[in-house]
Amino acid sequence: MKKVIFASMFALGLAACGGAGGGAKAALVKSCLDDGSTDEKTCSCMADKAVDELDPKLVNILVEATKAEDEDAFMMSKMGELSPEEMTSFMTVMMGAATECGMEM
C-alpha cells in the first residue's frame, strides 16, 4: 500500500525538517527507499521533481508525511485539505514526475 500511496501522492505521489531544499530531498529519498520497491535513481528523481516543481506548502506536506506514524493516513487527510487548484497542481507535477522518472505504477 505504501508504494501505491507514494506513487499516487507523488502522483495523486514526500520534505525534512520543515522546508524545501536539501533536507526535503533527503527525507523524500529516504522514505522512498525505505519502501523498498523503487531504486535510488528513481527515488532521487522523484524527490528532485517534488522539491523543484511543487509549491513549498505541498513539499512540506510530503516531508511531514515521512515523519508520520501512518504515512498513508496522513497523506489522505492532508490531500482532503487542499484546494482544487493545489490538488490539480500536485497531481500534475507528480504524475509528470512519475512518468519522467520511470516509476512503475
**What would the DSSP string read from start to end of 4-18?**
HHHHHHTT-----TT
Percent of the chain surpassing pLDDT 70: 78
Question: In this structure, are residues 40 and 26 in contact, taking their beta carbons and an 8 Å threshold?
Answer: no
Average pLDDT over residues 42-61: 93
Nearest alpha carbon to residue 32 among 57, 9, 55, 53: 9
- CA–CA distance, 90 with 36 (Å, rounded to integer): 24
Q: What is the pTM of this model?
A: 0.74
Asked if residue 52 has pLDDT above 70, the reply is: yes
Residue 1's pLDDT is: 42
Q: What is the pLDDT of residue 12?
A: 37
